[in-house]
Amino acid sequence: MDGALDTDVIVVGAGPVGLTLTGELRTGGVRTVTLERLTAPTTESRASILHARTMALLAERGVLDRLGPLPGGGSGHFGGIRLDLAAATSGHPFAGQWECPQTRVEAVLQEWVTDLGAEVRRGHAVTGLTRHTDWVEVDVRVPGGRPCRLRAAYLVGCDGERSTVRRLAGYDLAGVDATRQMLRADVTGVDIPDRRLQRLPNGVVTAYRRADGTTRLMVRRHGRHPRAGAGVPDFAEVVTAWAEVTGEDIGHGVPRWLNRFDDTSRQVSRYRLGRILLAGDAAHVQMPIGGQALNLGLQDAINLGGKLTARVTGGAGDEVLDSYHDDRHPVGTRVLTNIRAQALLLFGGPETDALRDTVAELMGIDAVRSHLARMISGLDIQETTPVSDVRTGSGTPAPGDRTNRSASTDRSSTMDRLNGKTALVTGSSRGIGRATAQRLAREGALVAVHYAANEDAALETVTSIESDGGWAFPVRAELGVPGDVHNLFLALEEGLKERTGDTTLDIVVNNAAETAPAGVPPEDITPEQFDRYFAVNARAPFFIVQRASSLLPQGGRIINISSGLTRCANPDQAVYAMTKGAIEQISLHFARHLAPRGITVNTVAPGITDNGSAVFGMPEVVEQMARLSAFNRVGDAGDVADVVTFLATDEARWITGAFIDASGGTLLGQ
Ligand code: NAP
């Protein structure tokens, strides 16, 4: 049938959501046709805020570079109560909120999809659709031309809150009708003070003057109920409302754009009906508070893009499309809920004052601010099938094949086994430590990404975690120097406190180590080298365990990373192996010592594991190394990280003091 299709996916709507989906699909090699009712991009900038998770996702796709440097979008708020998003999400590379008019986002996305060879047909309105077993057919009205029909394997409605696709496909849209409305206008020629969500006896107002001299106004009058079917307000209505609430006359101004919005809160109950899917405002209708609607829609598109690509080009089954609903429907519900709560706080009259005071008091608590900020910034989102997973292929990689290897090993799905836990992974800027930090975060843990010098790599680890919906922050401290562990814990405790309100540390992974890939013959080792190895690989982990033990709660976990080299001889690695022998002793003795508190302490011993260093890019060397493993390949950082993650979960509660060989059978011998 595919030969008779006009394209793989028809995307309806070339706003930010439709264009983002188009870009994702094109990146994955999917054929697309994007249909847009409007003949030219809109000049209205309804939304202008990008949140941290969206920024990270756009950065990953190179779209952020195209947008250029963005100004910060101010502190943020929850229901009109100041919430400094940057402070409450500090540690995230895009902490805070960022300002970018929707028109600019759209222009850049259009440029991106054009470069990807996408076909965006403007002035093309969908007027009908027919479902078939293997395809969907849409009727399209073309201005000045003959109507046409298009066939595709899938159809996605990204056509906004009045979605035609939603209506034609027979989706429900359950929820509650509006009880409050706001008038919004862009006006020139007025000179009134800027104010942000100012509460006055008769209502709430916002005004801010843009660089181009236009003032954006928003006004809500208490006690006024939205009129059903009320269209675009006329300027006189805005002038009257403004005067009633502020006492100011803006009647001499020139309106450039007028609009009304309300607190309607509705969501379709399934994001997918067979071959037809919805994303963005087509799937959920909400009040645009704090830019969340745009961010929610962009993230819908990115999630769906990866999954549709996997379905169309990667041989994934329909369940991958259902996982789009499973991921994004609850996220949508949650955002709609927080928006309704905020609308109540923001636009409620005097009857909500007591509630506002109580919420404001709660927001004085670090942990509450952090919780709300992560929710608004999208940093607490856990997607069950991470996009990176569904986009990768599978199969057994050849030795030395670095591109495929992580594809086969990055597949563990989130089960939220570590929700609410905190973890320190030493040396997690790169290699095994990075993979471990990523997996612990994917399971829901807040991860401190420790490093010594390589700040860029550490920030990359944090970004990758955040863009996967996890939570992490970097901690810098060189180990093996005086004051090392003290400095590490000062930064760690500060980071934890800021984010969780206390210093509880549930999981410690002693991973950082001084390694000597090429080795040093025993006769050449100097006392200084010997001391350095022991200081970093044995002394620091011991004192980390000692210091952490006061922060570890009942059920805490310590995992020490050793090496298969403690079980087979390699004279050039003698001193390194001695330090690894020492770390195994830490596990043994502390396992006994901490057992009364329900804390487990174990050792994981990797074999040769691709940590991203240059040698793993040399096929002939990798082939030689691969022969040491019973599986004839070198390990992937994820192979080891999965074992460590398992030990961190409750499922491993009965294992302590154990030496776990994670060397792919290297120790079995030839
Ligand atoms: P890697 O890629 O070399 O990364 C080492 C990490 O440790 C980096 O994050 C580094 O931070 C940090 N680090 C190094 N020296 C440090 C110091 N003095 N203070 C603080 N941090 C320091 O490591 P890997 O190969 O993934 O190895 C991870 C663990 O597995 C190590 O314990 C290693 O002994 C063990 N292991 C590895 C293999 C293998 O084949 N890869 C085999 C057996 C055992 P910066 O980025 O800031 O430098």
Q: What is the pLDDT of residues 634-659, one digit of tens each?
A: 999 999 999 999 999 999 999 999 99
Letter string b/e over residues 570-582, b meaning 16 or more CB atoms within 10 A of that residue's CB: eeebbbbbbbbeb
Q: Identify the bridge partners of residue 254 per DSSP, sorted by sequence position.
A: 188
Residue with the smallest CA separation from ligand 1 atom 34 is 513
pLDDT digits (tens, 9 = 90+) for 196-253: 888 899 999 999 888 788 999 999 998 888 876 677 899 999 999 999 999 999 999 9
- List the chain residues with pLDDT less than 70: 1-3, 43-47, 228-229, 383-415
Residue with tokens 């000045």: 144
Question: What distance in angstroms lies between residue 512's CA and the mean position of ligand 1's atoms?
Answer: 4
| Structure confidence at residue 381 (pLDDT) | 82
| Structure confidence at residue 415 (pLDDT) | 53
DSSP secondary structure of 192-248: ---EEEEEETTEEEEEEE-TTS-EEEEEEETTPPPPTT--SPPHHHHHHHHHHHH--
Question: What distance in angstroms lies between residue 523's CA and the mean position of ligand 1's atoms?
Answer: 24
pLDDT digits (tens, 9 = 90+) for 293-310: 999 999 999 999 999 999
Q: Domains (ranges, CATH) in the chain?
A: 2-175+266-376 (3.50.50.60), 181-262 (3.30.70.2450), 418-669 (3.40.50.720)
Strands 136-141 and 125-131: antiparallel
CB 662 within 8 Å of CB 606: yes
Instruction: Dump strand ranges (E) for 210-365.
Output: 215-221, 254-262, 265-267, 272-273, 276-278, 284-285
Cα separation of 408 and 397, whole Å?
8
Contacts of 193 (CB under 8 A, 6+ apart): 207
Chain mean position to CA 286: 21
Please tell me whether residue 350 adopts helix, strand or coil conformation.
helix
Chain mean position to CA 217: 32
Q: Is the CB of 454 under 6 A from ligand 1?
A: yes
Cα separation of 576 and 533, whole Å?
6
Say how many CA atoms lie within 13 Å of 295 toward its Cβ.
Answer: 29
Say how many CA atoms lie within 13 Å of 475 toward its Cβ.
Answer: 28
pTM of this structure: 0.58
Q: Is the CB of 606 under 6 A from ligand 1?
A: yes
Q: Is the CB of 515 under 6 A from ligand 1?
A: yes
Residue with the smallest CA separation from ligand 1 atom 2 is 431
| Structure confidence at residue 228 (pLDDT) | 65
| Structure confidence at residue 45 (pLDDT) | 60
Cα separation of 470 and 542, whole Å?
29
Question: What distance in angstroms lies between residue 568's CA and the mean position of ligand 1's atoms?
Answer: 20
Of 471, 466, 362, nearest in space to 78 by CA: 362
Question: What distance in angstroms lies between residue 118's CA and the mean position of ligand 1's atoms?
Answer: 43
Of 282, 297, 280, 277, nearest in space to 53 by CA: 297
Residue with the smallest CA separation from ligand 1 atom 9 is 427
Nearest atom of ligand 1 to the alpha carbon of 634 = 40
Cα separation of 429 and 480, whole Å?
17
CB 268 within 8 Å of CB 283: yes
Q: Is the CB of 540 under 6 A from ligand 1?
A: no
Backbone angles phi, psi at 560, to 5 degrees: -105, 135
